[in-house]
Amino acid sequence: MKAPECPPNEVTRLQTLKSLDVLDTPHEERFDRLTRMARRLFDVPIALVSLVDENRQWFKSRVGLPVSETPRDISFCGHAILGEGVFIIPDATADERFHNNPLVVDEPNIRFYAGCPLRALNGSHMGTLCIVDDKPRDPTEHDLGALKDLAAMVEQELAALQLAVLDELTQIANRRGFMTLVGHAIRMCVRQKMSASLVFFDLDKFKSINDSHGHVEGDRALVTFAKILQKTLRDSDLVARIGGDEFAALLLDTPKACALDVILRLQARLDVYNDKSVHDYTIDFSFGVVDFDPQIHADVDALLADGDAMMYECKQRKS
C-alpha cells in the first residue's frame, strides 16, 4: 500500500478548507442530492463528497457508506487531489498502491474508484466527488464527463461557502473567515504550546484618498496593501481585511518581538512601492501587535480587541 503524498500547496489548501467552516457539520440536502444523483447515474453502491483534512478524509455527503470519515493515509481521495483530472482505479486489487489497502481488503471492499478533485476559488483541491464499486469497472469518456459535471455542481456549492468568508475586493479572508480560521489556530496553539501574535492594521489617512481621488482609487490602495501584506507574510500566517481600511494577521509560532521584525519588512516593501508610485499619495499604516495569551484571550474577539486598542494608541501618537 502507498500512502498519498501532500500537495505542494498543503498549508494554503488546509487553510482554505478550514476557512469554509464545513468540517464536521451536519448533512445538507444541497450536497446529498448530488451524491444521490451520482449513485443513481453510475449505478454504484457508494458516492461521496469527500473533504481531505490534515489526517483524515471526512465525508460532507455519503450514500452507501456507514462511516463519516477514514484516515487520510489509506484514502483514495488523498491520491485524487494530487492531480487535475479524474483519478481512476479500475481494479484496486490489481494496483500495487491499493491491493492491500484496508478499504480494499475489508469493508467496503473497494474495487473500482473514480474521484474528481473539487477546487476552491483559489484553485486548491479540497477533496473529491467520488464513486465507488465493489466490482471492477472501466468507465467510458461519457461517464467521466458526467462525473466532472456533477463535481462542478459540488464546487459551486463550496464556492458559495467560500464567498461568505472571502473579501470580494482584496480576495483575502473577511472578518467572518478570519474569526473562523483564528479560532482553529489558537486552539491548536494551546494544544501544541505554540506562540502566536496578532497584528491589527489600520491605513492612515485613507479617507483623504477616497475624498481626493475617488473610491476607485481608494479600492486600488486597499488591494495594493493586501497584496504587499500577503507577500510579506508566510503561507502559514493568517491575514484578513476585517472591515473598511482595517486588516489583521495572526502570525503562528511567532512571538511579539519577531512580529515586529515582520512589520519592519512590511514597511520597507511599502516604502519601495510609495517611492515608485505615480500617485500623489502614500500608503501608510498604524498597527498594534499583541502576544496571544490563553489566560487573557478567552476567544478571538478578546485578541482582536487588544490588537485594536494598541493600534489606536499607535495612531494617536502619530496625530
For 18-51, what is each residue's pLDDT tens digit? 989 899 999 999 999 999 999 998 999 999 999 9
Specify the residue for cell string 470519515: 69
Contact 129, 34 (CB under 8 A): yes
Strand, coil or helix: 129: strand
pTM: 0.74
DSSP reduced 3-state for 281: coil
- Please compute the mean of the pLDDT values over residues 73-96 and round it to a whole number: 97
Cα(238)–Cα(198) distance, integer angstroms = 9
Any idea what DSSP says for residue 135? Answer: S
311 pLDDT above the threshold of 80 = yes
pLDDT at 163 over 90: no
Q: Does domain 10-163 have CATH number 3.30.450.40?
A: yes
pLDDT tier at 190, thresholds 50, 70, 90? confident
- Taking the domains of the chain in order of start, what are their residue ranges? 10-163, 175-318
Q: Residue 226: which region, alpha, beta or left (left: phi > 0; alpha: psi -120 to 50)? A: alpha
The yes-or-no answer to whether 10-163 and 175-318 have a common fold is no
Superfamily of domain 175-318: Reverse transcriptase/Diguanylate cyclase domain (3.30.70.270)
Q: Are 114 and 130 in contact (CB under 8 A)?
A: yes
Helix (H, G, I), strand (E, B) or coil at 222: helix
Separation CA 297–CA 102 (nearest Å): 43
Residues 6+ apart with CB under 8 A from 53: 14, 17, 23, 72
Residue type, 240: A
The overall longest dimension of the chain from CA atoms, in Å, is 73
3-class SS at 50? strand
Length of the chain as a residue count: 319
